[in-house]
Structure formats: structure tokens, C-alpha cells
Structure 1
């Protein structure tokens, strides 16, 4: 429940607004207060000395600081709690990055399909969706290969035996995805996707469903809070399925 007194009246905000730095949380706090119906008395802290003096005066470690009804509410997160709004936990697990990724790659694939064929719903769109998903997933891993490799080594069976594989994997996934989208060099992309997908699916299944381990997934990069499990397994099964679908042309 909210502690806000009707969410109206005046709020006093102290935030950093310096020549070369404007505190983003101060801007967010001001916007949130105004959106919640408060008249904001906006005080700018225009130098490091003024900011330090303010922190010392109120015995606080950070700015911005919000005061409502004569008492200090606190910083931006404290303000959100005061107004009864959810405060994100940066360490909490979340599927949001993966949902956003697959939603956008699906839209990308349908957009390309519509541009090429006049229809968004085609078999080629489904193929492009998987290939584009592989490309974007590899891109996220390649943002910080070292971080990805460290997380990947927690569960991948091949990487545990041969550490360089944890560095090769994102490049292999990206290359297979690009070739599949292009419909080129299937003799390379099919066995590559089939191999990394099979190893990945086996590794995830063993770690999560047999050993019952609780781990974070490296699928969207090494800094994610996506839990290892169904999503990771789906990523690998998609690669296997795409490889088998493309291999059908050889038989």
C-alpha cells in the first residue's frame, strides 16, 4: 500500500544538475512526482562541494532526495515504494530479455517475409525467425565473450572438457545463423547448428533436469539473470530443428 497522502500537494526535490552532469535518477524522480500529482519544488545541486555538503547535512549517501510533508522520503527507489510502485531487484531472475528478443526477431522475420513475398506468414519467415534469433543471441554473447564463457563453463559439457569451446560457441552460433538466413553453405551451417544445438541441449537437460542445479543461463550473455532451464533448452532445440529441417533437402 502507498504511504502517500492523497498523492497531491508539494514535494521538495534535491538533485544534481551540474554543467557536465545531470543526475538521471533526479530527472526520473521529478517526472514521477509530477505524474503522481505533486507540485515539485526543484532544488539543483550545482557543484560537487554543494552536493557533498547536502549529503553531510542530511546524513545520506546518495542524491536525489525527496521530501514530502516535511519528512524525508529518500531517493528514487524510496520514492517508488512511497508511491506504492514496484521497485526492480537487479539480482532477481527474469525471462523478460528472452521474451523481448524472440518477439523482436519474430517481427523482423515477418517484416522481411512481407517485403519479399507480400505475406508475413510463410515457411521462410519461420526459417528466418530461427536464423535471426541465433544471430541476435550470438550478438548478445559477443558483447562480453569473457563473461559469457565464465557462465557457460558452469554447465556446458564440452566446454568443461575443452575450455576454448566456450569462446568459440558464440561465433559458431552467429555464423550458423547468418548462413541459415542467407540459405547459403548448408553443408557447413547444418552440421554446425546440429552439433552445437545437440551438445547444448544435452548439457542443459543434464544440469537442470537430472542434477537439479539452479543456474543462470548464458544464452543472452554472461550478465543476464535468465534462469537456466526451458528457455535455454528451447534455444538449442530450435537450432537442432532448423538444422534437421534444412537437411531434409539432402534426402
Structure 2
């Protein structure tokens, strides 16, 4: 919607946001974009120095910028603006399956892509194998971004890690290595036992914590900073590794 069209609707908003020589507030840009998409004419005020920003905060008794005013009333920052328009605002401790959905979706498409470039078709058994192996690699990468954080969360429920703390540091490397070897089809004698062992220990640990102890924990499957609840997703990750640990030697014996 153009500025003229926005003016015709009578929708007018006043936005104060930081725009400095070396810093432009991203939430200010998001606020301006959201207002414009909602059909508002935006009176855009730039706070171009730290002193100007601090003076604005003191005047309006606010701790952060940007700040949006509609009809003379302060709506708030970007989250407040989203709430004003009835949009969902995620809390810091809110659980989310989005990381897992993204990982498995991309892994599935990558498996199909590798199958197509190799066999000129996506309809192959190897496509499924690659999907699972790539999933293991992507999940491993998430853990490897911060092994310390992962190991801390992992200690909340993994039975072996509780007895041998170093296992929490080894796990991400083992999962990633097994996935890489399974993508290539090389060293199955190494990748299959790794996947089978860590998958079995993980599955038993998750089942015990969630379905026997009835504990509500966060899953370390996508890294130590995730808000994915421990349960079906982590159990699925471990069952996939068990399945691959059993299947890859069978396929090798069959010569597939």
C-alpha cells in the first residue's frame, strides 16, 4: 500500500527507532515494515545518537526502542506491536518443534536431490537412506555448535552420560561421523555399531525419563539451547539410528 493510500484510510502511526551511523535497529525496521503491511502511514522518527535515544527513553519511561504510538497511545516495541495486531509472540521458554521440522524437511529434500543426481530419479531406496543419514549429520551439527551446552542438557536424562560425563562430549561427534559414513556408504563396520550403540542407549534413556519417570524435560537433540520438549522427537532420532545401524550391514551383505 502506498503512502497516499495509507493516508486515505486514516491509519497513522508514529515510530521512534534507532538509526545511527554504525547501527540501525533491526526491530525498528521490522516495526516499520509491519505497520506498512497493515496499511499504516508511518511517521518515522530517527534516534541518531545514544544521547538522543537515552533522552527519549527517559521522557517516555521506557527501557527499549523502537516504540510505536497509534492514536496518541503507546503500543510498545516490536513484540507489543505484534500483540496489538493479534499476532503470536513467542516467549523465551516456549516449546517449539520448528527446528526439528526444518532439519527433517531439509534432510528429506537433500536425500531426494542426491538420489536424483545419482540415479536420475528420486524413487530409490538410497534416497531414504540418505534422508536418515543426512538427518543424523544435521542434528549432529546442531549439537556441535555448542558441545558444552549440549552435554549439560544431555546429562538431565541420558543414562550413560550420568555415569560417564565424557560421553556427553563424545556423542555429537559420534552421531555426525556415523551420518557422514552412511551417506558415503563407507566403513559400515564402523558407522553401523556407532549408530546402533548410541541410538539404543538414547532410546532407552528417553523412554525411561519420559514414559516411566514422567519427567518434563527439554530435548538436547537439536542442541543445548533448544526448546524442543523431550519425548517423541528424541525417541524418533534414536530409533532412526537404531534402524540405520541394523539396516546398513544388511544392505552391505546383500550387495545393495
Normalising by structure 2, we get a TM-score of 0.94
Matches within 5 A, 1:125-144: 125-144=127-146
What corresponds to 1:31 in structure 2? Answer: 33
What is the distance in 2 between the residues matched to 1:190 and 1:159? 21
Size of the alignment, in residue pairs? 245
How far apart in 2 are the matches of 1:136 and 1:9? 45
- What is the RMSD of the two structures over their aligned residues, measured on CA atoms? 1.1
Map 1:59-208 → 2, pairs under 5 A: 59-208=61-210
C-alpha distance in structure 2 between counterparts of 1:141 and 1:121, whole Å: 31
**CA deviation after TM superposition for structure 1 residue 90, in Å:** 2.5
Instruction: State the alpha-carbon separation in 2 of the partners of residues 123 and 183 from structure 1.
Output: 13
* 1:130 counterpart SS class: helix
The 8 Å contact of residues 8 and 37 in structure 1, kept in 2 or not, is answered as: no
- Look up the SS of the partner of 2:19 in the other structure: strand
d(CA) in 1 for partners of 2:148, 2:181: 25
1:82 shift after superposition: 1.2
Equivalent residue number for residue 212 of structure 2: 210
CA distance in 2, matches of 1:161, 1:85: 45
Give the TM-score, by structure 1 length.
0.96
Q: What is residue 4 of structure 2 aligned with on the other side?
A: none
Instruction: Give the conservation status (yes or no) of the 8 Å contact 1:217–1:228.
Output: yes
1:3 matched to which residue of 2? none
| Superposed displacement of residue 8, structure 1 | 4.6
Tell me, in whole angstroms, the C-alpha distance in 1 between the residues paired with 2:91 and 2:207. Answer: 28
What stretches of structure 1 move > 6 A for 4+ residues in a row? none
Partner of 1:220: 222
> How many Å separate the matches in 2 of 1:198 and 1:41?
60
Q: Please name the residue that 2:22 is paired with.
A: 20
Q: CA–CA distance in 1 between the matches of 2:202 and 2:128?
A: 22
